[in-house]
Amino acid sequence: MAGLPKLYTVDEVATLTHAPPKSVLYWIYSGKLDSVRAGRRRLVTEHALRTFLGLDRSDGDAGTR
């Protein structure tokens, strides 16, 4: 199925960011990290995670820091 975004669970985001799952949930519920709800689970798109981490910069100066 082409076109579907990569989705990460809260635990996967915690592993990738080296943060506790409770911190990931805080980021989601405080509005800092976008997520989608699938049943009772919260999932984070790859784009939302890259944006949160500052890896998707639309102003053209990515990597200048």
pTM of full prediction above 0.75: yes
List, edge to edge, every strand of the sheet that includes 7-9. 7-9, 41-45, 36-38
**Residue 50 carries which side chain, given as an amino acid letter?**
R
Residues 10-41 have pLDDT tens digits of 999 999 999 999 999 999 999 999 999 999 99
Q: How far is CA 29 from CA 21, 22, 42, 58, in A?
A: 12, 10, 10, 25
The answer to whether residue 58 scores a pLDDT higher than 60 is yes
26, 10 contact by CB (below 8 A): no
43, 8 contact by CB (below 8 A): yes
The pLDDT value recorded for residue 2 is: 72
Residue reference for tokens 């009772």: 40
